[in-house]
């Protein structure tokens, strides 16, 4: 019984097998999101410019970052998302409004290759999902911008 308890305690302290997302990420760039309609509501370049170069640290029990990105007690879940689910389903909604829109082509214009991508759902109140273009590149949608984050190498 004691060896079982030791095993359980040891296993619970290990990072999850899919904790590839943990680490320090820098907001490297941003583009106006494909779903944005500048004629109706122009995206705020001030917010975007204030975020470029900022750091987000994803830890097992919290996310540290500027303003909206900070989160205590996240409930991480990694899922595979098809193109129409990316950015809170914005690409799918665009296709629903206009059947000529191809979510896969929109995703490809933002650098996504393939047909589905790992997405980190944080369970945080900000509801920002982290879509992995590759192991070192993440894209997120916020206020009509798509931000690209780059992972800093571990020291």
Residue 57 lies in a domain: yes
Residue 4 lies in a domain: no
What percentage of the chain carries pLDDT values higher than 70?
A: 88
Residue 136 lies in a domain: yes
Residue 78 reports pLDDT greater than 60: yes
Of 27, 25, 47, the C-alpha closest to 36 is 47
CA dist., res. 46 & res. 6, Å (int)? 52
What percentage of the chain carries pLDDT values higher than 90?
A: 82
Residue 8 lies in a domain: no
- pLDDT value of position 92: 94
Residue 73 lies in a domain: yes
Question: Count of domains in the chain?
Answer: 1
Residue 79 reports pLDDT greater than 80: yes
Residue 26 lies in a domain: yes
Q: How confident is the model at residue 153 (pLDDT cuts 50, 70, 90)?
A: confident
Residue 42 lies in a domain: yes
- pLDDT value of position 18: 64
From residue 81, how far is each of 17, 37, 41, 121 by CA, in Å? 19, 24, 28, 11
Look-up of token digits 């590839």: 20
Domain with 61 in it = 18-151
Residue 10 reports pLDDT greater than 90: no
Strand order in the sheet with 62-64: 71-72, 62-64, 55-58, 23-32, 145-151, 137-142, 129-134, 116-121, 77-82
pTM comes to: 0.86
Asked whether the CA dihedral 107, 98, 143, 63 is positive or negative, the reply is: negative
Residue 94 lies in a domain: yes
Higher model confidence: residue 30 or residue 155?
30
């Amino acid at each position: 019984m004691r060896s079982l308890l030791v095993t359980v305690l040891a296993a619970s302290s290990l990072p999850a097998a899919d904790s590839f997302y943990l680490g320090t990420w820098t907001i490297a760039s941003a583009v106006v999101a494909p779903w944005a309609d500048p004629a109706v509501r122009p995206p705020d370049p001030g917010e975007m410019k204030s975020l470029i170069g900022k750091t987000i640290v994803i830890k097992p029990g919290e996310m540290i970052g500027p303003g909206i990105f900070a989160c205590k007690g996240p409930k991480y879940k990694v899922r595979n998302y098809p193109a129409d689910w990316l950015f809170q389903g914005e690409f799918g909604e665009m296709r629903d409004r206009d059947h000529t829109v191809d979510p896969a082509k929109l995703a490809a214009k933002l650098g996504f290759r393939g047909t589905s991508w790992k997405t980190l759902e944080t369970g945080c109140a900000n509801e920002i999902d982290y879509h992995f273009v590759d192991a070192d590149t993440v894209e997120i949608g916020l206020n009509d911008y798509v931000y690209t984050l780059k992972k800093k190498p571990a020291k």
